[in-house]
Amino acid sequence: MPRSTVVRPEEIRRHNLSQVLHQIHVHGAMSRAELTASLGLNRSTIGDLVADLVRRGMVDEHVPAAGVDRAGGDKAGRPSHMVAPRRDGPYVLAVEVEVERMVSAAVGLGGRIHVRRETPLASPSSPSGALTQIARDARWLAARMPVDARLVGVGVSVPGTVRRTDGMVVHAPNLGWRNVPFGARLRRRLGDSVSVRIGNNANLGALAEHQRGAARQLRDVVYVTGGVGVGGGVIVDGAEVLGAGGYAGEIGHIMLDPNGPPCHCGSNGCVETSLGEHAMLRAAGHTGPPGSAAVAAVLASAAEGCEPAAAAVAAQGVVLARLLGILVNVFNPEAIIVGDTMEQILRIERTAVEAEIGRRSKAESRAALLLLTPGLGRDSALIGASELAFQHVVAGIATGD
Amino acid sequence: MPRSTVVRPEEIRRHNLSQVLHQIHVHGAMSRAELTASLGLNRSTIGDLVADLVRRGMVDEHVPAAGVDRAGGDKAGRPSHMVAPRRDGPYVLAVEVEVERMVSAAVGLGGRIHVRRETPLASPSSPSGALTQIARDARWLAARMPVDARLVGVGVSVPGTVRRTDGMVVHAPNLGWRNVPFGARLRRRLGDSVSVRIGNNANLGALAEHQRGAARQLRDVVYVTGGVGVGGGVIVDGAEVLGAGGYAGEIGHIMLDPNGPPCHCGSNGCVETSLGEHAMLRAAGHTGPPGSAAVAAVLASAAEGCEPAAAAVAAQGVVLARLLGILVNVFNPEAIIVGDTMEQILRIERTAVEAEIGRRSKAESRAALLLLTPGLGRDSALIGASELAFQHVVAGIATGD
């Protein structure tokens, strides 16, 4: 039998409570009047649900001073109560593991980053080293949060294939990790009382850009991130595309050229053999160690039209566009968001990229396409990790967990 | 503001009524006890909802003879009432427009084909010719249905890009149609009282195989159909992937080779330049007109190992596998279903296809992959067209339309 979607009356209150929390989390402070309008519930029900969230220490209510009422008051002209996430309310630990650095942050309801910390990582970094750093960051951040603030979840972004169900990092080639039970090990480090969830950086970037970045108003979005590796995250009709095991979006290993060079994955002509920092540095004649400084130098040089950097960046633009053309044909998205080093390629080569996408995709599939850069800058995956952790909190209220 | 998903009590009854109808439509005849178990509602609620559907002329109830009770009776051992779609209940007209033929059928609740008709089409067929044939088939089928049976919707499958919202056929290259307002014209032909919906053949094939074919128990499925053209339909987490305009799944124009031959779409090296009946016939040295007879001859010859047919089919297998490898990386599906002439290619070249998919996709993404042929044979798109029409009927009960 397929899953039933019948709703029983006793589930409605919890569902509505979770919806109110979801609204506050997505939009930040809202008036009761706005909540009433956006959820289609009556004022007394909203008042009751908000009071429940206040009791749970998640939100605060206050009456705004005259003249600052955002959305009208009641019939007597009294301003509507404002409902806002509490500063000393629940927060999550969000972590982004990258090739060269780790970023950790304490993120509150509403997606507000309270405190953040950035640490260089040895490259390649060991799973143990990353776990130790996360535990250290958790203490460091907690010490800077209000005494009453309670850690309710942990979300970690990893640049590799991750099994969502248990946080197994199956393969993170640019970290050199394979079959690392990162979720389980982090749970042991931090204590079993806190929920720990691990996700792929591109999937989490897509989640964050859809929730509170460049794709806030959109339903069908592809997020492409390319630095050392190339990854993709997809939102279809407002929901994440994860696939059977959680590995959807492995666009770095799409075969773009049957005569292309061998790839570390065992195939040849994969996207990653010609797209990404290593390919760009090679084409630009860079012979030293790779890294963000070398990449920045090539991009700066290309922006001024200097060869061979300009040709290397132009070549990246063509390959990027071919990949985007495939994604346009497959998903017919409203927007593609291009992040990390690929964002810089797009800025320099935008005209050529758009022309090549035009050549490589069906006219109707790209007719309404927006080609965007991330609204959250470099923090897409970090914010996505916090969203992953908060999903559990918001859903937990609905199910009573 | 995002769409609210708050549920108001007054919507629950309609929602549950729609769920009962959906269960009967998906599974066919069910006992009240099975409905109670699968929907998690109590017996009296189910009895009330079923009575409503009986009053609407959609289902019949009967008490099974002793010994044939499928799912237990009540505590006193009385057998549970069986609820079944009425034979003279509502039906839809499902139509599949193909390059060489048109199939029409009167399909009842439960997906049962009551009457069907197959007509050869002139190739290429004109939109007017197709519309005339559909109107003729509608009368022919109606004359063979019970007098009380009521036509409640029309669904049409077209091999091309279709705007779902209004049934505009944007481009059906193998029919030679471009910007044909097929939905609007069919609505005028059949009278405005009946709902008319048009869909892409691969999208509808995916829908049908997921609903009642090879992927019935699965949530993440890609359906690939390849005859003259190559198309794809995708189901993610149980729902259709349509994209912003309804054009998702245009996999025939994925660029597989930057040095490949020019494509009619303006690009070069697209999947369709090397995959499909025309490419296969060319490689097999066939010089006469294309068509199903010529294709059957090449496939029969290849199955016996005769050259150049065998090499032509082997080459098709390699290209098919490269396309499937991309889809595995992008979607990490539980299953890929391969239909039409590509199904025959897969049957002959299965070992080679699996090996090439293995080379072209990430190990974790294909670990649990099922490579299937359609459970509905050649009727996937036809049944999908009926599902499209029935979606409207089932959803209409929930919204009161």
Instruction: Verify whether the Cβ–Cβ distance B19 to A39 is below 8 Å.
Output: no
Residue indicated by tokens 């950097």: A309
B156 lies in which domain range?
91-204+380-399
Distances (CA, A) of A393 to A92, A191, A197, A385, B294: 9, 17, 12, 13, 61
Instruction: Verify whether the Cβ–Cβ distance A332 to B247 is below 8 Å.
Output: yes
A133: phi > 0 → left, psi -120 to 50 → alpha, else beta; which? alpha
Give dist(CA A251, CA B329) in Å, integer: 6
pLDDT digits (tens, 9 = 90+) for B22-51: 999 999 999 999 999 988 888 889 999 999
> Residue A1: its pLDDT value, please?
35
> Residue B191: its pLDDT value, please?
85
Chain B residues within an 8 Å CB radius of A171: 362-364
Residues B46 and B145 grouped into a single domain: no
Q: Is the torsion defined by CA of A29, A32, A37, A41 positive or negative?
A: positive
Instruction: Verify whether the Cβ–Cβ distance A251 to B329 is below 8 Å.
Output: yes
> Residue A276: its pLDDT value, please?
97
**pLDDT at residue A396 tops 90:** no
Residues A72 and A55 grouped into a single domain: yes
**pLDDT at residue B75 tops 60:** no
Residues B104 and B78 grouped into a single domain: no
Q: Strands A150-158 and A196-200: what pairing?
A: parallel
Nearest to A245 among B37, B325, B368 (CB): B368
Last residue of a domain, one of A32, A57, A85: A85
**pLDDT at residue B1 tops 90:** no
Instruction: Verify whether the Cβ–Cβ distance B247 to A364 is below 8 Å.
Output: yes
Residues B229 and B309 grouped into a single domain: yes
Chain A residues within an 8 Å CB radius of B250: 329-330, 332, 361-362, 365
Residues A302 and A353 grouped into a single domain: yes
Chain B residues within an 8 Å CB radius of A242: 237, 332
User: Which stretches of A311-374 are assigned E, i.e. beta strand?
Assistant: 335-340, 370-372
> Residue B10: its pLDDT value, please?
62
> Residue B78: its pLDDT value, please?
66
DSSP letter at B80?
A: P
Give dist(CA B197, CA B77) in Å, integer: 46
pLDDT digits (tens, 9 = 90+) for A239-284: 999 999 999 999 999 999 999 999 999 999 999 999 999 999 999 9
**pLDDT at residue A299 tops 90:** yes
Instruction: Verify whether the Cβ–Cβ distance A330 to B251 is below 8 Å.
Output: yes
Tell me, rounded to whole angstroms, the distance of Cα A281 from its chain centroid: 27
Nearest to A253 among B329, B331, B333 (CB): B329
Mean pLDDT of chain A: 91
Selected residue of B360, B366, B372, B387 to mutate for chain A interface (largest A Cβ count, 10 A):
B360
Chain A residues within an 8 Å CB radius of B221: none
- The confidence band for A289, taking pLDDT boundaries of 50, 70 and 90, is confident
> Residue B392: its pLDDT value, please?
84
Task: Give this prediction's pTM.
Answer: 0.92
Residues B219 and B296 grouped into a single domain: yes
pLDDT digits (tens, 9 = 90+) for B232-269: 999 999 999 999 999 999 999 999 999 999 999 999 99
- Nearby residues of B169 by Cβ (< 8 Å), 6 or more positions away: B127, B158, B160, B161, B162, B177, B178, B179, B180, B181, B182, B198
| Residues, chain B | 401
The answer to whether residue A2 is domain-embedded is: no
Scored b (16 or more CB within 10 A) or e, B252-285 reads bbbbbbbebeebebebbbbbbbbbbbbbbbebbe
Give dist(CA B114, CA B95) in Å, integer: 14
Average pLDDT over residues A222-240: 96
CB pairs under 8 A between A and B: 201
**pLDDT at residue B161 tops 80:** yes
Percent of chain A residues past pLDDT 90, beyond the cut: 79
Instruction: Verify whether the Cβ–Cβ distance A332 to B243 is below 8 Å.
Output: yes
Instruction: Verify whether the Cβ–Cβ distance A9 to B5 is below 8 Å.
Output: no
Nearest to B15 among A1, A3, A7 (CB): A7
Give dist(CA B205, CA B207) in Å, integer: 5
Give dist(CA A88, CA B303) in Å, integer: 71
The answer to whether residue A1 is domain-embedded is: no
Residues B229 and B136 grouped into a single domain: no
Of A7-11, A308-312, B264-268, the poorest mean pLDDT is in A7-11
Mean pLDDT of chain B: 91
How far apart are the CA of A119 and the nearest CA of chain B, in angstroms? 31
Selected residue of A242, A272, A360, A394 to mutate for chain B interface (largest B Cβ count, 10 A):
A360
Instruction: Verify whether the Cβ–Cβ distance B38 to A368 is below 8 Å.
Output: no
How far apart are the CA of B87 and the nearest CA of chain A, in angstroms? 24
Instruction: Verify whether the Cβ–Cβ distance B330 to A250 is below 8 Å.
Output: yes
Nearest to B265 among A12, A256, A362 (CB): A362
Instruction: Verify whether the Cβ–Cβ distance A7 to B7 is below 8 Å.
Output: yes
- The confidence band for B376, taking pLDDT boundaries of 50, 70 and 90, is very high
> Residue B69: its pLDDT value, please?
46
Structure tokens at A254: 């799409």
Of A111-120, A345-354, B4-13, B358-367, the poorest mean pLDDT is in B4-13
Residues A227 and A368 grouped into a single domain: yes
Instruction: Verify whether the Cβ–Cβ distance B237 to A238 is below 8 Å.
Output: no
Q: What is the CATH number of the domain that holds B118?
A: 3.30.420.40
Under a CB-based contact definition with an 8 Å cutoff, are residues A92 and A382 in contact?
A: no
Give dist(CA B130, CA B138) in Å, integer: 12
- The confidence band for A305, taking pLDDT boundaries of 50, 70 and 90, is very high
The answer to whether residue B49 is domain-embedded is: yes
Give dist(CA A73, CA A77) in Å, integer: 5
Q: Respond yes or no on whether the N-terminal peptide bond of residue B289 is cis (omega within 30° of 0).
A: no
Using CA atoms of A376, A379, A383, A385 in order, give the dihedral in degrees to the nearest 10: 140
Residues A264 and A121 grouped into a single domain: no
Last residue of a domain, one of A59, A85, A111: A85
Distances (CA, A) of A382 to A90, A178, A205, A379, A391: 18, 22, 8, 5, 14
The answer to whether residue B321 is domain-embedded is: yes
Average pLDDT over residues A134-140: 96
Structure tokens at B318: 């390699």
Give dist(CA A388, CA A233) in Å, integer: 14
Instruction: Verify whether the Cβ–Cβ distance A243 to B40 is below 8 Å.
Output: no
Closest of A29, A40, A124 to residue A81, by C-alpha: A29
Under a CB-based contact definition with an 8 Å cutoff, are residues A103 and A134 in contact?
A: no
- The confidence band for B77, taking pLDDT boundaries of 50, 70 and 90, is low
Residues A193 and A312 grouped into a single domain: no
The answer to whether residue B156 is domain-embedded is: yes
Average pLDDT over residues A28-51: 91
Instruction: Verify whether the Cβ–Cβ distance A220 to B360 is below 8 Å.
Output: no
The structural domain count of chain A equals: 3
Higher pLDDT, B397 or A394: A394
**pLDDT at residue A40 tops 80:** yes
The answer to whether residue A153 is domain-embedded is: yes
- The confidence band for A2, taking pLDDT boundaries of 50, 70 and 90, is very low
The answer to whether residue B139 is domain-embedded is: yes
The answer to whether residue A3 is domain-embedded is: no
> Residue B7: its pLDDT value, please?
63
Distances (CA, A) of A9 to A13, A45, A78, B11, B197: 8, 15, 33, 11, 34
Structure tokens at B76: 């006193």
> Residue A125: its pLDDT value, please?
83
Instruction: Verify whether the Cβ–Cβ distance B256 to A258 is below 8 Å.
Output: yes
Last residue of a domain, one of A55, A85, A115: A85
How far apart are the CA of B279 and the nearest CA of chain A, in angstroms? 18
- The confidence band for B3, taking pLDDT boundaries of 50, 70 and 90, is very low
Residues B251 and B274 grouped into a single domain: yes
How far apart are the CA of B94 and the nearest CA of chain A, in angstroms? 24
> Residue B398: its pLDDT value, please?
72
Q: What is the CATH number of the domain that holds B57?
A: 1.10.10.10
Residues A242 and A269 grouped into a single domain: yes
- The confidence band for A9, taking pLDDT boundaries of 50, 70 and 90, is low
Nearest to B5 among A19, A249, A265 (CB): A19
Q: How many CB atoms lie within 10 A of CB B288?
A: 9
